[in-house]
C-alpha cells in the first residue's frame, strides 16, 4: 500500500511512474512542519533499524549519523562524509512498525537519523515543495517491492556486461588495450570488456577519438570485437569550449548549456579546460545530448560510462577570479597562521562550491530554474538522456550504460558504479554494505572499483575483493592514474586469479537469471540478513554478510593476513568453496562458525533444499556454454 502526499508544487523528477492519487496531508503519519524549510520529524524505538539511502558511507543499518542527499564528486569515502555521488531518498524503518518513505525532492535533504536526538528521525528539505510516499507492507522486502513497483522496472544491460571487465585511468595507446587483452588471454584470465578512460579523446572532448592514438578507430573496435572484447569509453558531463568543435558550437547555438543569471553560458573548468554544462533538465537538450552518442555507436561502440555528472566543477571562472582576488589582497602582507589558512581555504573552496551551484540556471519549459534546486537530477538526467535514446534507437538490453551520479528513476535506463574508493581493506566491506541499499532504490546493475581506485593495491587485497566482485552484476577492476598496476596478471603467478575469475563465469547463468528475476519482480538481489530473518537477534545485526537471491548467502574475507573469518549461519546451510573447476562442500549447522578460505577460493553458502546451476569456465561470455549446466549440489 502506497500513500502519496504533496506539499507546494513539486518539480517533476520522473522518479515515480505509477499514477497515485494524492492524499490529504492531514493524514500524513510522520510529523510534518512547514517553516522556511519542510521538516519531517518522528520518533522510533530504541532497537528500530533504518535501511536505505542507496549509495552512502557507513552501515547497512543507517541509524546514528547525518546523511545528506547531495550528489557529490567525493573521492574520499570515509565515515565522516555525509554524501557520495548519488541521491537516493528512500528509507525503510524497521521495528514493531515497519514502513518505507520516499522523499521525492531534487534539492538538498538532510537526514538526521537519530544523530542529534537518540530516538528521533529529522528530515530537513532545502525547500517546501515535495512529494512524499509512505509505504506499508508486511515486511521489509515487501515494502521495497511496493516502492520498486511505483518507480518502474530496473535496467537490464546486455548479457556480456556480466563478464569480467578491466579498466584503468591511464590506458591511452591502442597497444595498451591490446596488451590488456593478450595478457588476460595468455594467462587464462577471462575478460569481456576493456574501459577507455578520458585519454582516448581528443583534448578531453566528448564524442571524439584522438586520431594520433587511434588512426582507424572503427577497425580497432572491430578487431577487439572479433576477439570478444567490448571497448567501453567514458563520457564526461562538461563539453569543451572550442572553436570548430561541433558539439560545443551546436550546443551553444541552440542554447543547450546551463546559463548565468544574465543569460550567457555558465562556464567552468574541468578536464578539457573551460566547458559548457549541457542543460540535461531541458528536454530538447537532453534528447540532443543523447543523440551525440551516435558518433561512437556508429563506430561499433556498445557501452559507455558517464562521469563527472554531479556535476563536478574544478572551478568556475567567477569562483577562480574571486579566489585570486583574495590572494591578491593577502599578497605582500605579513601572513600569520590564520592568513595562511585563509589562503588555503580560498583555494580549496573553489572546487565543487555551493556558490557555483547556486549561480547557474536551467531552462525548463522556458522557465529559469536555479541549479541548486534541482542539483540531484543532473547526472541522472544525463544518463537517462543516453539510456532513453539507446532504447528507442537500438531496443532494450542492447547497450551498456552506467553513471557515477544518480537519482532514483535513472535505475530504469542505467546502472551505477560506486566511484572513487580506495585500495583499502575496509572498502571491501563498504562495497558489500552498499549493495542492498542501492538495490532498495532500484539500482541492480552496479558495482565498485574492484581492487580499489585510489591508493596502491596489494595482491591479496585484489584477490579477496574479487571474491566479492564475483557476485556483483558489474564486475570491474579499475584504478586511478599513477597507482600500482592492478590487472590480474601483474602479480606473478596468475593461477590464483584465474581460479577466482573462472568462478565468475561458472556462476554467470545463476547471477544473470537472478538479476533478471529481480528486475522483473522488483526484488532485491542482495539483502541484509535482517530482511530474511527478522526475528533472529544475531542475524539482524550482521553487517558483513548478505543474502543473495533466494538460494545463497555470501561472506567474503575482508581483512589482511587472515586465512578465514567468522560467519553466522541463520539456518543450516552448505558451505561451498569454489576455485577454478574445483568445488568443496561441507554441511554446516545454524550458528557461528570459523571458516578457512584460501586466496583462490570463493566462499558461498547455499540454503538447505536449494541449489544453483554452474557452467563450465570460459574466457568470455561469447564462449560461455549456457546450455549444458550442472548443479552445484
Contacts with ligand MIG, residue ranges (CB under 6 A):
169, 197-198, 234, 307-308, 404, 419-420, 478
Q: What separation in angstroms does the CA of 405 have from each of 72, 152, 165, 576? A: 8, 19, 21, 36
The answer to whether 167 and 141 are in contact (CB under 8 A) is no
For the bound state, the minimum distance from the C-beta of residue 351 to ligand MIG, rounded and expressed in Å, comes to 10
Nearest-5° angle of CA 76, CA 81, CA 84? 70
- Which residue, 167 or 413, is less far from ligand MIG as judged by CB? 167
By CB atoms closer than 10 A (0-12, 13-18, 19+), residue 84 is: buried
For the bound state, the minimum distance from the C-beta of residue 234 to ligand MIG, rounded and expressed in Å, comes to 6
Pairing of strands 120-125, 38-43: antiparallel
Grid cell in block for residue 478: 579499475
How many whole angstroms separate alpha carbon 426 and alpha carbon 448? 13
For the bound state, the minimum distance from the C-beta of residue 411 to ligand MIG, rounded and expressed in Å, comes to 19
The answer to whether 54 and 92 are in contact (CB under 8 A) is no
- Which residue, 192 or 197, is less far from ligand MIG as judged by CB? 197
For the bound state, the minimum distance from the C-beta of residue 272 to ligand MIG, rounded and expressed in Å, comes to 11
For the bound state, the minimum distance from the C-beta of residue 270 to ligand MIG, rounded and expressed in Å, comes to 8
574 CB-near residues (< 8 Å, 6+ apart): 585, 586, 587, 588, 605, 606, 608, 633
- Which residue, 147 or 169, is less far from ligand MIG as judged by CB? 169
- Which residue, 126 or 199, is less far from ligand MIG as judged by CB? 199
Point out the residue whose Cβ comes nearest to ligand MIG: 169
- Which residue, 421 or 545, is less far from ligand MIG as judged by CB? 421
- Which residue, 454 or 514, is less far from ligand MIG as judged by CB? 454
For the bound state, the minimum distance from the C-beta of residue 387 to ligand MIG, rounded and expressed in Å, comes to 19
For the bound state, the minimum distance from the C-beta of residue 420 to ligand MIG, rounded and expressed in Å, comes to 5
- Which residue, 405 or 618, is less far from ligand MIG as judged by CB? 405
Per-residue burial over 504-532, b = 16 or more CB atoms within 10 Å of its CB, e = otherwise: bbbbbbbbbebbeebbeebbbbbbbbbbb
The answer to whether 350 and 343 are in contact (CB under 8 A) is no
For the bound state, the minimum distance from the C-beta of residue 198 to ligand MIG, rounded and expressed in Å, comes to 4
For the bound state, the minimum distance from the C-beta of residue 378 to ligand MIG, rounded and expressed in Å, comes to 16
How many whole angstroms separate alpha carbon 484 and alpha carbon 491? 11
Element (H, E) at 443: none
Grid cell in block for residue 269: 573548468
489 CB-near residues (< 8 Å, 6+ apart): 183, 184, 187, 189, 497
How many whole angstroms separate alpha carbon 59 and alpha carbon 433? 6
- Which residue, 156 or 386, is less far from ligand MIG as judged by CB? 386
How many whole angstroms separate alpha carbon 143 and alpha carbon 527? 13
- Which residue, 48 or 310, is less far from ligand MIG as judged by CB? 310
Amino acid at each position: 500500500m502506497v500513500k502519496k502526499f504533496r506539499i507546494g508544487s513539486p518539480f517533476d523528477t520522473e522518479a515515480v511512474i505509477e499514477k497515485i492519487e494524492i492524499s490529504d496531508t492531514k493524514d500524513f503519519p510522520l510529523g510534518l512542519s512547514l517553516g522556511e524549510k519542510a521538516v519531517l520529524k518522528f520518533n522510533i524505538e530504541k532497537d528500530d533499524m533504518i535501511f536505505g539511502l542507496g549509495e552512502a558511507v557507513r552501515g547497512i543499518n543507517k541509524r546514528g549519523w547525518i546523511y545528506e542527499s547531495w550528489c557529490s564528486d567525493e573521492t574520499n569515502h570515509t565515515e565522516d562524509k555525509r554524501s557520495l555521488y548519488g541521491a537516493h531518498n528512500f528509507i525503510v524503518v524497521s521495528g514493531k512498525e515497519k514502513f518505507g518513505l520516499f522523499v521525492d525532492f531534487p534539492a538538498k535533504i538532510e537526514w538526521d537519523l537519530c544523530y542529534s536526538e537518540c530516538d528521533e528521525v529529522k528530515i530537513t528539505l532545502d525547500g517546501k515543495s515535495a512529494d512524499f510516499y509512505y509505504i506499508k507492507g508486511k515486511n521489509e522486502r515487501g515494502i521495497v517491492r511496493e516502492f520498486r513497483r511505483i518507480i518502474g522496472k530496473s535496467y537490464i544491460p546486455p548479457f556480456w556486461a556480466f563478464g569480467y571487465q578491466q579498466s584503468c585511468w591511464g590506458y591511452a595507446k591502442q597497444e595498451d588495450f591490446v596488451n590488456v587483452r593478450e595478457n588476460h588471454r595468455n594467462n587464462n584470465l577471462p575478460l569481456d570488456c576493456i574501459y577507455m578512460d578520458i585519454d582516448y579523446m581528443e583534448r578531453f572532448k566528448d564524442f571524439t577519438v584522438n586520431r594520433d592514438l587511434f588512426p582507424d578507430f572503427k577497425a580497432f573496435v572491430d578487431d577487439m570485437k572479433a576477439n570478444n572484447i567490448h571497448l567501453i569509453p567514458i563520457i564526461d558531463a562538461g563539453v569543451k569550449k572550442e572553436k570548430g568543435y561541433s558539439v560545443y558550437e551546436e550546443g551553444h547555438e541552440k542554447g543547450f548549456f546551463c546559463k548565468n543569471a544574465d543569460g550567457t553560458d555558465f562556464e567552468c573548468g574541468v578536464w578539457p579546460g573551460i566547458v559548457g554544462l549541457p542543460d540535461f533538465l531541458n528536454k530538447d537538450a537532453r534528447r540532443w545530448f543523447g543523440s551525440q552518442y551516435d558518433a561512437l555507436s556508429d563506430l561499433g561502440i556498445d557501452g559507455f560510462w558517464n562521469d563527472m555528472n554531479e556535476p563536478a566543477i574544478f572551478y568556475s571562472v567567477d569562483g577562480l577570479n574571486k579566489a585570486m582576488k583574495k590572494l591578491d589582497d593577502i599578497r605582500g602582507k605579513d601572513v600569520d597562521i590564520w592568513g595562511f589558512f585563509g589562503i588555503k581555504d580560498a583555494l580549496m573552496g573553489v572546487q565543487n562550491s555551493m556558490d557555483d551551484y547556486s549561480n547557474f540556471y536551467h531552462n525548463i519549459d522556458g522557465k529559469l530554474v536555479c541549479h541548486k534546486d534541482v542539483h540531484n537530477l543532473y547526472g541522472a538526467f544525463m544518463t537517462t538522456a543516453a539510456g532513453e535514446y539507446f532504447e528507442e534507437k537500438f531496443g532494450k538490453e542492447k547497450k551498456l550504460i552506467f553513471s557515477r551520479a544518480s537519482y532514483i528513476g535513472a535505475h530504469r535506463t542505467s546502472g551505477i558504479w560506486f566511484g572513487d574508493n580506495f585500495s583499502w581493506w575496509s572498502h571491501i566491506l563498504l562495497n558489500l554494505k552498499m549493495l542492498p541499499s542501492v538495490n532498495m532504490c532500484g539500482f541492480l546493475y552496479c558495482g565498485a572499483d574492484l581492487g580499489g581506485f585510489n591508493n596502491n593495491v596489494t595482491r591479496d587485497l585484489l584477490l579477496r575483493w574479487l571474491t566479492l566482485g564475483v557476485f556483483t552484476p558489474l564486475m570491474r577492476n579499475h584504478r586511478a592514474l599513477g597507482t600500482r598496476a592492478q590487472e590480474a596478471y601483474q602479480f606473478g603467478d596468475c593461477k590464483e586469479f584465474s581460479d577466482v575469475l573462472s568462478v565468475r563465469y561458472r556462476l554467470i547463468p545463476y547471477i544473470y537469471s537472478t538479476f533478471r528475476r529481480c528486475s522483473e519482480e522488483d526484488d532485491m538481489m542482495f539483502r541484509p540478513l535482517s530482511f530474511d530473518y527478522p526475528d533472529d537477534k544475531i542475524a539482524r545485526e550482521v553487517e558483513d554478510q548478505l543474502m543473495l537471491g533466494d538460494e545463497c548467502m555470501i561472506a567474503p574475507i575482508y581483512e589482511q593476513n587472515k586465512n578465514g573469518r567468522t560467519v553466522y549461519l541463520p539456518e543450516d546451510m552448505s558451505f561451498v568453496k569454489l576455485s577454478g573447476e574445483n568445488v568443496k562442500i561441507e554441511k554446516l549447522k545454524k550458528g557461528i562458525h570459523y571458516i578457512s578460505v584460501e586466496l583462490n577460493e570463493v566462499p558461498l553458502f547455499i540454503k538447505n533444499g536449494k541449489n544453483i546451476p554452474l557452467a563450465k569456465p570460459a574466457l568470455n561470455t561469447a564462449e560461455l556454454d549456457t546450455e549444458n549446466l550442472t548443479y552445484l549440489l
